[in-house]
Structure formats: structure tokens, C-alpha cells
Amino acid sequence: MKLPILLGASHLGGSGASRRRRASRVARLLLVLALSAGSLAAAPAPAQAATTATIYRPNHRVHFDAGTYTGYKFSASGTILAHKTATLSRASGAATRLRTTVPGHSGNWLAIVNGIWAGYSIHESNRTYLPFARLRLVAFAAGTHTGYKFNAAGSIVAHKTFKLTRASGASASTQAFIVTKTYLLIVNGIWAGYWVPVGSGVGLKYPPLGSNRLGLRRVVGGLDQPLYVTNADDGTNRLFIVQRTGLVRVFRAGLLQSAAFLNLTGKISCCDGERGLLGLAFHPGFVTNRRLFAYYTDSTGDIIVAEYTANAAGTSASATTERVLLRINHRTYSNHDGGWIGFGPDGYLYIATGDGGGGGDPLGNGQNRYALLGKILRINVNGAPPYTIPPTNPFANGGGAKEVWAYGLRNPWRDSFDSLTGSLFIGDVGQSAFEEVDRSAFGVGGQNYGWNVMEGFSCYNASTCARSGKTLPIAVYAHGTSNSIGCAITGGYMYRGTAQPAFQGHYIFGDFCTGRLWTMYQDENVANLVTQGQFAVNISSFGQGETGEVYLTDLSGGVVYRVVVNP
């Protein structure tokens, strides 16, 4: 995260170190969506449901790229009947006016061009395959779906079948690539588009949310550098808003309460570089034990994780109840402080720390398993004070600091648990060119996310590096020219609320510098990113209310917004 230094009024600046960005992360942003089940003419036609009676009407000029082509023929049940391979020595073009159902026409094939799906093809005795080059609208019909997974050579390595109980749709405007976790979707024997299996199942569990569907609805303003919003899960439906300058404010029933819930202004250092009050977490048993935890930087720049106790009514907590759990030396640089804390489904407290600052990890903390910086830490705050080590921590018995849960992070800025699956999502801020989203399954620790040996899918500042043993991101985006796309990721949440069904099963995140939002639905290590627009905000954090609704904080504007799906 790159937080501004305030010079009088809000001013986006920051220290020199805090404005540096990570070098090359490969922007493998998978637009794993659908190709047309309807017209492939120059203008997109309305989506048509894919069924056994669907007639595909390609009337389109297509291009032959030179290269090796492999075509796969499917039966009406989705079984592969045959495949053929041909090599085209030079590029050429052709037009087709095929009007036929797929199961009833023995000349219809799916073409794979050097491992990349290229479209329907017509194979005749002395001809090669005709790849279509554009993605269009597609409708997913209810029915039985079979997905086929191809490797880079075009060979089928796996297939899965599932049943979709209701129709859904999607669209895209650029070509997508077949990678190790992406499937071609066959609906009742007819190809209907790209398919990504979701969760532990094998299907399009949640219909993809279209691009530019999200908006921001103002909830409350007049705040002083808000950078987090959360809830106590105590049935009060209060929003607790963390202000970087040291106060925790309460918004309830449409009103911002004048008295602070917690005042730490006398303990924190703010606002040099990226320092301040950075995180807040309520104990899962807050209703009865009134315990809560904060993450801040003190007057020396050190990271402090401390516990507080609220009053019996749960309406306020005093700084005098503070009990420090962790103090981590962070005095050399004022950036890369991390700042997220949260309880996992296992009841343990997770803590995200930055690598100690500077450009390129000059302190060498990212890959040092014995250092507490550049890590996700996991501690048990329910045992003997100040805390105990969970016995399943990866280095509980040696090989690293006992508190370390995962390592190889640069500055994990805003992380969250999926309330349904328990997966941990991490937004890790980049150095100079790329930003990344990391993910781990519930209960799986010991990951090395690569920094500073790797950035995203690439070696950092080197042509070769040791890639083995690294856990790669599930999504990466590029900064773009002059940081036009972004420069600092803000991790978000998997939406699990009930008020907005179209949002269900989508992870939202954004960029602090440009105000851009993205959503993705994903499984395993495949992510499908969808652009949701650009807003005039500095996205310092996302947060959740008790009902699962997602909120966004605007640091410089002093506003909390609710994220909504537009009609």
C-alpha cells in the first residue's frame, strides 16, 4: 500500500521509498469467458442458448495463421470421437457460411492452434482448419455440461461433467488462452464457451458478473483518512471505521457517532510514509468476552499488535486496557508496514506484515523464514498470554520463526477469508510494474509467495531464478503506461451476502492509485478478471458488514461507500 503524506489538506505524495514499484509481474490476466453460440458477424448478436437444436451461423471472414492445428470432433453426448492434426506453412484467409447443428454434421471440429483454441473448423479432405478470431456473447443453457482440459500441446488431459440447473450468460471482447486449469465447455455435446470450475465442485457455480456492473453508494463522509471498515459480529450491525490518525469511529443506523469507540492517537506514529493505525479485528467471541485487537506503528516506527477490552455494553474500549502481544522492529524505513489482522475460521489470529520497506527488499526479510516481516503470521490468543503457537504452524518445530504461517510477501495490503470456503486471499503490493492477488486454501500454510526471488510469474530483477517451491499468484495486473491502470493493489473480499445475488461468489479488489475495481470468480489457480470501472477514490481498503455486504474506504475523500451491483 502507498499511503499519502498529508501536507495541510489531503495530498497524494509519500516517501521516495513508498512510491517505488515492483518490477516485472507477468500480467496473465485470464479472460476465461465465452465465445459466441450465435452470429460471428462483425457486430455482436444477442446471445443464443446453446442446446442440441442450436444452429451456428458463422458468416465471417476468418484468418489462417501459419502453424500446427489440431481439431477435435465430439459426439452429441460430448465424447471425443476423433482428432486430426495439420500444419499450415503460411498464413491465408477464407470465408464460411456454414449453417448446421453440430451433432448432425460430421465435418465440424474444434480447432486447437498450438494449444490455443481458435474456433470452429471445417475439415475437408485436402484442406486445413479455419480459426475464428473473435470472442462474442454466449448463453449457458441449463443442462449437462462437460468440460475438456487441454495442455499446451493441444492434448486432452482431463474432463469433467456437471449439471447446470439454470441458464446464465457472459461476454468478453478479447481472446483467451487455454492454460493448465482452463476447460472448453461442451453443453449437451455442443461447444458453448470457456469454462472455469468453481470451488470444490465442477461447474459454473456462480454466473460471471459482467463488466462495469458495480457502483459505489455513499454511506458516510467527514472521516479523517479512513483505511478500514469492519464489524463486531455481535448483532448490532455497527460499522467500525478505522482512521489512520488513531480513532475507531462507529456508524450505526444511519448516523456517525460523535464519540470514538477507541482512541489510540496517543500511541501511534502518523503519518510519515505508510505509518499509523492500520488494522482492527474483533474476537469471534466479542459478544461475551469484549476482546478486540489493533495493529499500529508506534512512535519509533515499530509494528505493534495489541489487545483491548471493551466495556460491558460493548460501546467503547479504552487505550488503558492495552496488552501488547507483538512488537516487531520496523525503524529503518517508513513504508511496507503491512497492517491487516483478522481471525480465521480456525479461531487463530492472522497478521500480515510488510517486508520492512525500501525498494527490492534491501533488508532481506521476504525469504528469511526467521524474520517476522514480509509474512503472514498466525498466533493463538486464547491460550496463555501473550499468545501461544498453534501446533500446526509450519515452523512450530523449527525451520523458521514459530509465528510464521506463510512468507515471501512484499507488502500484503488488505487480506480476507472467504466465509464459505475459508480460503485466504492476499493483495500483495507491487514494486514498479505489477500487482498480485495470492490465495491459499483453508488450513494450508508454509507457502512461499516468492518475493523477492520472484514477482508474480517472473523472476525479480534477474533472467533466471529458483522457481521451485514458490506459490504463484492467482491474478496479476500491470501498472500500464505512467501507472494508468494502477500502482498499488488493495485486496478485497469474496462476496457472500444475500442482498445482491448477482455478486455472489465474486472476489472484489481494486487499486489505490487509480480507483479501478475488478471482480473475479476462480478455482484452483485460475482467475477470471472482469473490469468494473474506475472511480474518483483512493481505495485504502474494503470491508464487510455483518450481513456480508462489502464496503470501500476512500482515504483522501474521507468517505465510506457500499459496493453495489447496478441493474
- Which residues fall within 8 angstroms of residue 87, CB to CB, at 6 or more apart? 67, 68, 69
Residue type, 78: G
pLDDT at 433: 78
How does residue 247 score in pLDDT terms, banded at 50, 70 and 90?
very high
Q: Which grid cell sits at 280?
A: 482492527
C-alpha distances out from residue 406 to 100, 128, 507, 522, Å: 54, 50, 21, 21
Length of the chain, in residues: 567
What are phi and psi for residue 288, nearest 5 degrees? -105, -35
DSSP designation for 192: E
Region of poorest pLDDT, from 82-96, 127-141, 402-416, 550-564: 127-141
Contact criterion met (CB below 8 Å) for 125 and 81: no
- Which of 144, 181, 198, 131 lies closest to 421, judged by CA? 198
Domains of the chain: 17-26+212-565 (2.120.10.30), 60-195 (no CATH)
CA–CA distance, 531 with 474 (Å, rounded to integer): 16
The yes-or-no verdict on residue 446 having pLDDT over 50 is yes
CA–CA distance, 332 with 334 (Å, rounded to integer): 7
How does residue 555 score in pLDDT terms, banded at 50, 70 and 90?
very high
Highest mean pLDDT among 72-76, 184-188, 190-194, 502-506: 502-506
Mean pLDDT score, 448-459: 89
In the chain, what percentage of residues exceed pLDDT 90? 54
pLDDT at 165: 57
pLDDT at 60: 30
CA–CA distance, 376 with 403 (Å, rounded to integer): 9
Mean pLDDT score, 440-449: 95
The yes-or-no verdict on residue 563 having pLDDT over 60 is yes
Sign of the torsion formed by the C-alpha atoms of 527, 530, 532 and 536? positive
DSSP designation for 320: G
Q: Which grid cell sits at 395?
A: 515452523
CA–CA distance, 159 with 183 (Å, rounded to integer): 8
CB atoms within 10 A of CB 214: 27
Prior bond of 452 cis (ω within 30°): yes
The yes-or-no verdict on residue 54 having pLDDT over 60 is no
Please give the mean pLDDT across all residues of the chain: 74
Contact criterion met (CB below 8 Å) for 548 and 495: yes
Region of poorest pLDDT, from 208-212, 305-309, 426-430: 208-212
CA–CA distance, 387 with 376 (Å, rounded to integer): 16
Please report the DSSP string for 511-528 in residue order: ETTT-EEEEEEEETTEEE
The yes-or-no verdict on residue 136 having pLDDT over 80 is no
Cα dihedral value 455, 460, 463, 468, nearest 10: -60
Please report the DSSP string for 48-94 in residue order: -B--TT--B---EEEEEPSEEEEEEEE-TTS-EEEEEEEEESS-EEE
pLDDT at 67: 57
- Which residues fall within 8 angstroms of residue 395, CB to CB, at 6 or more apart? 369, 401, 402, 404, 446
How does residue 435 score in pLDDT terms, banded at 50, 70 and 90?
very high
Contact criterion met (CB below 8 Å) for 490 and 414: yes
